[in-house]
């Protein structure tokens, strides 16, 4: 269920300044997005898994708070990130 080391490294490399830049807000949002996509597929397959559904809602809330933060700090960076991750259509 969790992201593999290779997936995490790929996301950090794409959104971070370097391969060890895991604390960057953009990297955190991208990692949460990948985890949310995995959990969404899991919840579609196992509809009665309520603990995973709760975990999914927690992750979505955490990502929403981080997106709100980055929106306040830099609106252009926020819009570029939304576009790149394909969150809003």
- In this structure, what CATH number is given to the domain that contains residue 74? 1.10.287.10
pLDDT of amino acid 21: 86
CA-CA distance, 69 to 50, in Å (whole number)? 29
CA-CA distance, 62 to 39, in Å (whole number)? 14
Q: How many domains does the chain have?
A: 1
Do residues 63 and 12 touch, judged by C-beta distance below 8 A? no
| pTM for this model (two decimals) | 0.91
Which pLDDT tens digit goes with each residue over 3-41? Answer: 899 999 999 999 988 888 889 999 999 999 999 999 999
CA-CA distance, 75 to 80, in Å (whole number)? 9
Q: Which structural domain range is residue 29 located in? A: 5-85
């Amino acid at each position: 269920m969790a992201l593999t080391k290779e997936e995490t490294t790929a996301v950090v490399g794409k959104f971070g300044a370097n391969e060890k830049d895991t604390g960057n807000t953009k990297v955190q949002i991208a990692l949460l997005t990948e985890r949310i996509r995995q959990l969404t597929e899991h919840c579609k397959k196992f509809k009665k898994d309520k603990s995973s559904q709760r975990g999914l809602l927690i992750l979505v809330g955490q990502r929403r708070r981080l997106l709100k933060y980055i929106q306040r700090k830099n609106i252009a960076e926020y819009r570029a990130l939304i576009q790149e991750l394909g969150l809003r259509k």
